[in-house]
Amino acid sequence: MLLIFLRRFLFMGLSIFIVVTFIFLLVHLVPGDPVLQMLGEGAQPADVEQLRHALGLDQPVYVQYFHYVHNLLRGNLGTSFRYQEPVLRTLLRRYPATMELSLASLLLALLFSIPAGVQAAVKSNTGQDRWISFFSLLGLSLPNFALGPLLILLFSIQLMWFPVSGIGGLRHLVLPAVTLGLGLAAVTTRMVRSAMLEELSQDYLRTALSKGLSRRTVLYKHALKNSLIPIVTVVGLQFGNLLAGTFVTESIFSWPGIGRLTLQAIQFRDYPLVQGCILAIAVTYIGVNFLTDLAYLLVDPRIRME
């Protein structure tokens, strides 16, 4: 058990190092000069060179990279060009909002997809199964940038049930969470249906029913439990799509999270902030996959034996 944990932790550290290197190189290949963004196109050449030297942007890329990694190991992500404050402080202020939105979307997706997927498997090839499959396909077909404005027009402007944008109480969270979680709900519903169909044909379920166990207990305590490995895998992988979807969803609903902050940082060529935002999202995704690997050990004890 400890060996598995250490091996997974080592792979997670290697993945983070690769991501850090890729982010640094990618950001520095983006066209545009952050110094001109800060000073304006009409800035004097002397002022431009002075600020570029102060920010360390006049050094070779490999020197900037080693300084970046060295500071990163010390917990220093640099100073934002735009906000003139430590990047870590800016991220800590925005990160909770993104996690709140992502976790709410995940919860909504699971609350819908698990009962729907089980019901579709039980009623396979019936009208109920076809309707659930239709709505799953619809959820996969609607991108965030189309679904978000539609929900705003219907539920915010027409019905006035929910606020148009911003962060606040539960009412502010509903529409962004639905927009972000619909795609995950659709994918998970189809996966639950597929995994349950394989289990429903097993003899142990008929044995459990013949012993007098209720149908609900057999479906959810036995069949669903033994189907969790592929479902956990899909949910863990799809969490990355949730984090990527925050870029669009947070912009649509003016949600003050890391996704919206990243787009603003790219617009202003704020290198340290862009690197910090993408790194925070990447580390979160890697961490979720690490927890997914550990969840396998809890879901299926045979993995621990292997």
What does the pLDDT look like over 211-232, one tens digit per residue? Answer: 776 777 777 777 777 777 778 8
What mean pLDDT is predicted for residues 198-222?
Answer: 73
- Does any domain span residue 53? no
User: For the domain that residue 172 is a member of, what is the CATH number?
Assistant: 1.10.3720.10
Within a domain: residue 276?
yes
Q: What is the pTM of this model?
A: 0.78
Judge contact between 219 and 237, C-beta under 8 A: no
Query: For residue 123, what pLDDT band results from cuts at 50, 70 and 90?
Result: confident
Question: How many domains does the chain divide into?
Answer: 1
154 domain residue, yes or no? yes
- Crossing angle, helix 228-252 and helix 87-122, to 10 degrees? 130
**Residue 20 within a domain:** no
Does residue 122 form part of some domain? yes
Mean pLDDT, the chain, rounded, equals 80
C-alpha dihedral over 29, 35, 39, 45, to 10 degrees? -120
Going by pLDDT thresholds of 50, 70 and 90, the confidence category of residue 291 is confident
| Domain contains 7 | no
Identify the domain containing residue 122 by its residue range. 94-305
3-state secondary structure of 86: strand
In a domain, 257, yes or no: yes
Residue 193 lies in a domain: yes
Q: What is the pLDDT of residue 38?
A: 61
